[in-house]
Amino acid sequence: MKESSKMVYYKEMDSPIGPLTIAATTNGVCWIEFGMIEDSLFLLKRWVKQWIGTDQIVEAKNELNTVIQQLIEYFSGQRTEFNIAIELYGTPFQKKVWETLLTIPYGEVRTYKDIAIQMNAPKAVRAIGGANHNNPIPIIVPCHRVIGSNGNLVGYGGGIEIKQYLLQLEGYLPKDK
């Protein structure tokens, strides 16, 4: 549902995987992009216009402090679950995929086929991959925890190196020496 009066707040934070641009409405975090705000602002504005139906986007003052603190804790190994409101924007199928991803525990992975079976849509493996690719809240909605059926790390919006880093951080993969 598009709400033209909704305000969207954004902020950039540093992380071990590089800068992250985070956006939220008053209802919750709705968008995370890998990269600096200068590189992400055009994408954010376009995404917000398409999915939220507003052009009211402002830099956050304190609105994103909780999510930033929880991301800092996650990257330092002190947090295994996020306890923040999120607001998912996408097609009904995409939202169902992303909600399923939220059930994958920290430090574990699932294959695209596992997700398809869990969703009672065993033939939707490719569509699930597409939804994963369009996940607007990576890290918090843990699309990095989905791997190929052969166990390979495949496809990640931030790049395979970042996916590998996150899975090492969570203890699924051994850390590089």
Q: CA 157, 161, 162: angle at the middle one, nearest 5?
A: 55
| Euclidean distance between CA atoms 157 and 60, whole angstroms | 24
* DSSP label of 143: G
| Euclidean distance between CA atoms 167 and 144, whole angstroms | 7
143 is catalytic: yes
Annotated catalytic residue: which of 143, 146, 162, 169?
A: 143
| Euclidean distance between CA atoms 163 and 148, whole angstroms | 13
Which residue is listed with tokens 């203890």? Answer: 171
* DSSP label of 29: E
Q: Which residues are catalytic?
A: 143
